[in-house]
Amino acid sequence: MPVLLLFLAALAACSVSTTPGGSTAGASQEAGDGPLVVGFSQATQQSPFYVQLREGAEAAAKKAGATLYFADAGGDVTKQNNDVQDLITRQIDVLLINPVDPQGVQPGLAAAKAAGVSVVTVDRPVAEGAVAHVGRDNKAMGELVGKRLSEELGAKGGTVIEIKGDAGGAVARDRSAGFHEAVKANPKIKIVEGPYADYVRAKAVTAMQDLLQVNPGVAAVYAHNDDMALGALKVLNESGKSKVLVAGVDGLMEAVKEISGGGQYVATALNDPISLGSKAVETVLKVGKGEKVEPSIDAGTELIDRDNAAPYTGSGEFAQAREQ
């Protein structure tokens, strides 16, 4: 048994990074004494959004004096389940998880339950196994962007290519459903559903190149995040399609600046990852202290278009949520 424990500890050290908080960092909280120990299992770091989400969580944990262990699943649900097991061996008090797949991650959630570790999800929810979810209304985001894009296309309508996020993910499902709901009032709009590009720009570039071959008369592109939308924009520019409208989600600053510049990028929806990570850790801390929290916590969103992009423009990687 001692040999097995040493092996697990070594394995965890290879895949988990630490943000310390407090002079007794690493010790599990007992009866409210000592710093809270949080395990954060992230779905991937291949998108700027997820990098910033991690940074927001780490900053909030450090400010609160909590210890945060971080693990990147790299888009692999099997690795994520293993990461959760590694985090549990670190004697964490609460698990914060952004699941690669809501169903596939159930073994990890079951392990957390067996170990007496409470679970909070962020960005992507699960059907069961978590005491709370912190995220934004992704259907509302899709609706906001869909309504704006439909207004831009007007009575003429046209073909809209949709580049999707991840297969089976609630975020992709909701952003798609909201968009479809918003544009269905315009019978002149035809949606061509493209492949899943996993929220990665390079994959969206390849997808758009293929889609443009089949749909040369496309009027607009809607992608489930700005990173993919910017990949589509690159292909459109290279193909001389300067009149094709583009819209995304997340408020990536590169996209906000495109919108502010008055070009073909028309809209995005605010999804500040720094504030989302901070809100998630705030919730985790309450759970760790035994406080009651709501099962679903909405961090809020807003449409960013040509009319209001200027105030959101700044030096950060994403547009920041404004104080209400």
pLDDT value at position 15? 63
Do 232 and 191 reside in the same domain of the chain? yes
- Is 317 inside any structural domain? no
Cβ atoms of residues 99 and 131 within 8 Å:
no
- Is 117 inside any structural domain? yes
Do 102 and 170 reside in the same domain of the chain? no
Contacts of 165 (CB under 8 A, 6+ apart): 171, 172, 175, 196, 197, 198, 199, 224, 225, 228
pLDDT value at position 169? 84
pLDDT value at position 168? 83
- Across 64-203, where does the E strand assignment appear? 67-72, 94-97, 118-122, 132-135, 158-164, 189-196
Do 234 and 254 reside in the same domain of the chain? yes
Do 64 and 84 reside in the same domain of the chain? yes
- Is 288 inside any structural domain? yes
pLDDT value at position 47? 85
The total number of residues written for the chain in this structure:
324
- Is 298 inside any structural domain? no
Q: Is 155 exposed, middle or buried (0-12, 13-18, 19+ CB in 10 A)?
A: exposed
- Is 321 inside any structural domain? no
pLDDT tens, position by position, 142-184: 999 999 999 999 999 999 999 999 988 889 999 999 999 999 9
- Is 16 inside any structural domain? yes
Do 109 and 143 reside in the same domain of the chain? no
Instruction: Kindly report the backbone phi and psi dihedral angles of residue 191, in degrees, each rounded to the nearest multiple of 5, phi listed first.
Output: -95, 125
pLDDT value at position 16? 74
pLDDT value at position 20? 66
* Segments of the chain scoring below 50 in pLDDT: 1-14, 22-32, 324
pLDDT value at position 28? 38
- DSSP lists the bridge partners of residue 220 as 160, 245
**If we measure between CA atoms, which residue out of 155, 197, 187, 68 comes closest to residue 120?**
68
Do 158 and 93 reside in the same domain of the chain? no
- Is 49 inside any structural domain? yes
- Average pLDDT of every residue of the chain: 91
Host domain of residue 96: 2-134+273-293
Do 98 and 215 reside in the same domain of the chain? no
- Across the chain, where does the E strand assignment appear? 16-19, 37-42, 67-72, 94-97, 118-122, 132-135, 158-164, 189-196, 220-223, 245-247, 265-269, 296-298, 303-305
pLDDT value at position 46? 87
Range 103-112 burial, b when 16+ CB lie within 10 A, else e: eebbebbebb
Do 196 and 123 reside in the same domain of the chain? no
Cβ atoms of residues 271 and 136 within 8 Å:
yes
- Is 56 inside any structural domain? yes
pLDDT value at position 324? 46
- CATH number, domain with residue 214: 3.40.50.2300
DSSP state at residue 155 = G
Domain count, the chain: 2
Report the C-alpha gap between 251 and 269 in whole angstroms: 6
Do 165 and 265 reside in the same domain of the chain? yes
Do 266 and 144 reside in the same domain of the chain? yes
Do 50 and 67 reside in the same domain of the chain? yes
Do 65 and 102 reside in the same domain of the chain? yes
